[in-house]
Amino acid sequence: FATALIQKASDRGCWLGAICAAPSILAHMGILDRRKATCHPCVLDEMGSAAVRRDEQVVVDGRIVTAQAAGAAFPFGLKLVEVLRGREAAEQVRDAVLYRG
C-alpha cells in the first residue's frame, strides 16, 4: 500500500523525501535510477543505479530529497523547508530552533 502511494506521488511530480534506509525503497522502485542520492551506509548495496553521494548528508535531485541517517535529521528537515517554502523560511526555522550545524 505504501509503495503505491509513493509511486503515485512520484508519477504526479510531488516532492519525495527519504532518510536513513528509506532511500533504498525508492531505489527498489526505480525512482532513483540514475539520480543523485544518499543513504545510510548499511543499504549502499541496495541503491541500484542511483548515483550515491556517500560523503553528503543531504542530496537533492529534482524533486527528491535524500539524507544519510538520524545525524542528518536537522539538515534534512531544513532542506525540506527550503525546497517547499524557500531559503528564508528555512533560515527562520534554523534560527528558531538554534541549530548551528
By annotation, the residues acting in catalysis are 20, 40
User: What Cα–Cα distance (Å) separates residue 82 from each residue in 7, 11, 52?
Assistant: 23, 22, 22
How far apart are the C-alpha atoms of 40 and 91, rounded to whole Å? 26
Q: Could you give the CA distance from residue 3 to residue 24 in angstroms, rounded to a whole number? A: 12
Burial class of 76 by CB neighbour count within 10 A (0 to 12, 13 to 18, 19+): buried
